[in-house]
Amino acid sequence: MKENTSMEAFLDDYGKIVVYLSQRFYNGKSDRFYLERTQGEVTACQIRELESHESYTRYTLTGPADIRMGEAVEIVEEHGHRAVLQFRRIVQTSRFDEDFAYTGELGAFCEETQTRFVLWAPTANEVQLDLRLGEKQVLLAMTRGDKGVWRTEAAGDWDGGTYLYQVKVNGEIHCSPDPYALSSTANGRRSGLVNWKRMTEMPQSALPPFARYTDAVIYEVSVRDFTHQKECGTTTHSQYRSLCETGTALAGKPTGLDYLTSLGVTHVQLLPVADFATVDEEHPELFYNWGYDPLQYGCPEGSYTSDPNDPRCRVRELKQLIATLHAHGLRVNLDVVFNHHYDIQFSAFDQCVPHYYFRTTPSGFLSNGSFCGNDTDSIKRMVRKYIVDIVCRWIEVYDVDGFRFDLMGVHDVDTMNCVVKEGRRLKPELMVYGEGWDLPTALNDDLKACQRNNAKMPEVAHFNDYFRDVVKGKTSEFDVQAKGYATGNLYQAHDMMSALCANTLNKEMYKIYQQPTQSINYIECHDNATGWDKMKDCCKDEVRELRVKRQKLMIAVTLVAQGVPFLQSGQEFCRTKYGHHNTYNAPDNINQIDWERKNRHEEVVEFTRDCVRLRRLIRAFRFASAAEIEEHVHFEVTEGQMLLYQLNDVQAYGGYQTIKVFFNPSNAVQYVELEEDYQLIFNEAGLLTTPVMVRNLAVNPITMVVLVK
């Protein structure tokens, strides 16, 4: 109960009213309660239960069953005190979800001669549209229709205009942006109107064929970080347009977009570009944030645009960035954060339909599986519809190629399957993957979109933390000393077998996934310390040159393993964040890409390019099924815990019958006598321009060697 409030009343179910009466008011005692409608009709309510607390008494009443959603009614008690009846936990009921599930269009639809506005707000009893463009301003009453959907139309051309909804609900007027807004003014003050079909058509490019997840090499990029450093040489910095600039270099070596396209990766995964809360879009230099603090889910972030107060600008410039990446042969995946809102108080969800969009525990408290104070409730029909609608709009408006779902385990299985199904109607090759952690959200474990339920989501991939921990060592700041196989724990050679098979086989291995297309193999991402920084702890007794070799080995393992390889930007030049584990709001000098460092580690960069070329050359590293892995992949642990990863009878996958990959993470040379001659095509120097025939092989310390026949 709110402080300094004598009485509050809530509709918590059909026919169930809960009243809180302050102990300051007649000691919290009342024997009679009535429901009074605006037209004067009064109905007695029956007291079903009461509970006395230190500061209030809680009454549970049976009220009339014919209260209409959005109807303005009051509860009056015997002493004449009254309170607006607020629609609260009733919106959490399955009946409400069924009664008000709406399948049509929502949002603002801006055309040359008119703009249509459609808002779902079933508990509101009045909605008005505040619409502005330049000096022109109108206030339009919206009309309620079926399923609690409010509509109005504004004649004329409102492209570039702004609007808010004035939603009267639970006795208060909320000035709310549109949950479905395509754009906005700076810092989400007002929703923005954009006739996106009027924008200049972006050039179409013939992207290389993409049929299966295992053909992807994903490279994670922050729009802000990638071009922030002045040494990048771009004319602008940390903006969508900065990442579109070509011809930039440092000491004759490419930077920015030219560097990105030189790596050979197939997919760029952008850290969140949907509107986030804690960076001032008009003064982005004041604060830093990765963007996992969502404010508006369908609107591009304004701090990355050249004019955050022009609604059309942020849409146009993000479209241009994605089109530019496409023109350079790169697909674009977006990192999306639907699992929570930065602050419910500022959420358009709670302004328009209070208490509906966020998951609660059985006792009525907000669920907090995201550890951000709230969880969106994807199992609700209009929340699921919202997520699917916004995903489809990112595809339709921006031509996005895939989505990485932050804290995907907060969502439910059916929602993720719907994302795949509906998204692929628009883009058949769409990638969908995410963090399938088993999070403590208030949802039945069997329904969570987490790794252990991966069999229920066959087209959804998961970040493979087993792979990360076995190859590199556990990644949290409490496990800095823990080594993985590539960082020197030789006893994990057998665990590496499971990792290299994308955890898809049972036979003497640890199985997690059904198919290799479900395993996103990574060593590092934006979260936690970089691999290089971790080695400063777990390999602190080794000289720098050895740690560089281990960095190369970790990259090589990632790119020859079965599954889907993922690289963090800068991993290929030993990126450091100076030991910081969580840099989500650290300054730019910690998060930015260091182009001078890139030039210093050009050897590792070129080695990474060669690893990507090797993966493309040998299709047997990219099996799409567990059956192929089981048939063709074999292992042997040799002297000194060196691991042989062998692919047999793979001539149908690219010209070689047998492929032998040796991993030697030890500090000693390991010698191998082969049964016949093989071609040596890859070693610590990368791809060999002229293969060497060998039968007796010396595998140098901390290296990967690839032989073919």
Active-site positions read 406, 435
In 3D space, the residue among 223, 219, 204 whose CA is nearest the CA of residue 324 turns out to be 204
Sign of torsion over alpha carbons 97, 100, 106, 108: negative
The CA-based angle 265-266-270, given to 5 degrees, is: 90
In 3D space, the residue among 180, 389, 419 whose CA is nearest the CA of residue 296 turns out to be 180
Tokens of 399: 């031509």
Is 105 in contact with 385 (CB distance < 8 Å)? no
- Collapse the DSSP code of 278 into the 3-class scheme (helix H, G, I; strand E, B; otherwise coil) and give the result: coil
Q: How far lies 485's CA from each of 490, 665, 686, in Å?
A: 5, 7, 20
Calpha distance 154→156 (Å, rounded): 7
- The DSSP secondary structure of 457-486, one letter per residue, reads -TT-EEEEHHHHHHHT---SGGGTT---TT
| Alpha carbon 703 to chain centroid, angstroms | 34
274 secondary structure, DSSP code: B
Q: For 399, left (φ over 0), alpha (ψ -120 to 50), or beta? A: left
In 3D space, the residue among 419, 187, 374, 165 whose CA is nearest the CA of residue 296 turns out to be 187
Tokens of 491: 């006893």
* Angle at which helices 531-538 and 544-560 cross, to 10°: 130
- Alpha helices (H) in 170-310, listed in sequence order: 223-226, 256-262
Calpha distance 307→298 (Å, rounded): 18
| Alpha carbon 272 to chain centroid, angstroms | 7
| Alpha carbon 102 to chain centroid, angstroms | 26
Is 232 in contact with 221 (CB distance < 8 Å)? no
Three-state SS annotation for 69-84:
CCCCEEEEECCCCEEE
Stretch (H or E) spanning 553: helix 544-560
Spell out the residues 6+ positions from residue 224 whose beta carbon is closer than 8 angstroms to its own. Answer: 238, 284, 288, 303, 304, 588, 591, 592
Is 432 in contact with 421 (CB distance < 8 Å)? no
Q: For 420, left (φ over 0), alpha (ψ -120 to 50), or beta? A: alpha
**676 burial type by CB count under 10 A (0-12 exposed, 13-18 middle, 19+ buried):** exposed
- Cβ count near 657 (within 10 Å): 12
Sign of torsion over alpha carbons 626, 627, 632, 635: positive
Calpha distance 206→208 (Å, rounded): 6
Q: How far lies 624's CA from each of 273, 548, 661, 669, in Å?
A: 30, 32, 19, 34
Stretch (H or E) spanning 59: strand 56-62
Stretch (H or E) spanning 188: none
Per the document, the length of the chain is: 709
DSSP strands (E only) in 578-664:
633-637, 643-647, 659-664
Burial 331-343 (b: 16+ CB within 10 A, else e): bbbbbbbbbbbbe
